[in-house]
């Protein structure tokens, strides 16, 4: 465990529940719902995520469908900024750009309204878990395609052994907890 997990003197790891064999055999899923459901833990988490990027100019926060919304939206609120949203295909009603990325089997696509980020805006991206990094890499490509600058990328949890950070080199990537 990295010391960031004790930010503000609260051990957030006790609120993460290991669920073995989910979503498939051999995988240990990190369930964050106990953390979300505890007022103190949730409050500390949002404050800590915002604090990680206190030295950066942020114009807008970006959240990723769906669990990412639970962290990105309150961080945006705390910073007094708006939130842009990356969604699964077909969920955005207006003209959007898309980006696909590879999965173990097959691929996924994400979409973003083409007016969601304005050229030159400083974007803080917040998501729950950094695993292989495919989702975040695709998200960064879309932000940059629209002319946005990535001020930072914050995760609640980073799964170090999956080395997702390698896909995000030269980006300002931070995480509260490491496994």
What residues act catalytically?
Answer: 67, 104
Verify binding: residue 33, a second copy, rule CB under 8 A: yes
Does the N-terminal peptide bond of residue 23 adopt cis geometry, omega within 30 degrees of 0?
yes
Nearest CA-CA partner of 14 in 33, 35, 28, 29: 35
149: left (phi over 0), alpha (psi -120 to 50) or beta: beta
- What is the Cα–Cα distance from 44 to 155, expressed in whole angstroms? 14
- Kindly list the distances between the CA atom of residue 32 and the CA atoms of 16, 103, 129, 173, in Å, as whole numbers in the listed order: 5, 22, 10, 20
Does 116 contact a second copy by CB under 8 A? Answer: yes
How much of the chain is helix, strand and coil, in % rounded to 5? Answer: 35, 30, 30
Among 3, 25, 26, 93, binds a second copy (CB under 8 A): 93
Helix intervals (H) in 8-112: 33-37, 39-52, 67-79
Q: Report the nearest approach of a second copy to the CB of residue 45 (Å).
A: 9
83 binds a second copy (CB under 8 A): yes
Q: Which is nearer to a second copy, 1 or 37 (CB)?
A: 37
Residue of 8, 11, 14, 17 that binds a second copy (CB under 8 A): 17
How many positions of this chain bind a second copy (CB under 8 A)?
41
* Binding track over 36-75 against a second copy, x by CB under 8 A: xxxx-xxx--x-------------x--x-xxx-xxx-xx-
Closest approach, Cβ 170 to a second copy, in A, equals: 27
Q: How far is the CB of 110 from a second copy (least distance, A)?
A: 13
CB of 23 to a second copy, least distance (A): 8
């Amino acid at each position: 465990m990295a010391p960031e997990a004790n930010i503000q003197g609260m051990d957030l790891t006790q609120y993460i529940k290991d669920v073995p064999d989910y979503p498939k055999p051999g995988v240990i899923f990190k369930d964050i719902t106990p953390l979300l459901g505890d007022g103190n833990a949730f409050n500390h988490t949002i404050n800590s995520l915002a604090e990680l990027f206190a030295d950066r100019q942020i114009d807008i926060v970006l959240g990723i469908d769906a669990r990412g919304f639970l962290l990105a939206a309150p961080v945006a609120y705390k910073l007094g900024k708006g939130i842009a949203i990356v969604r699964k295909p077909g969920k955005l009603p207006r003209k959007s750009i898309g980006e696909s990325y590879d999965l173990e089997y097959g691929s996924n696509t994400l979409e973003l309204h083409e007016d969601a980020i304005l050229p030159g805006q400083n974007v803080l991206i917040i998501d729950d878990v950094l695993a292989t990094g495919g989702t975040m890499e695709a998200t960064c490509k879309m932000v940059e395609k629209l002319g946005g600058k990535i001020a930072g990328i914050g995760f609640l949890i980073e799964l170090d052994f999956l080395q997702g950070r390698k896909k995000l080199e030269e980006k300002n990537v931070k995480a509260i907890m490491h496994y």
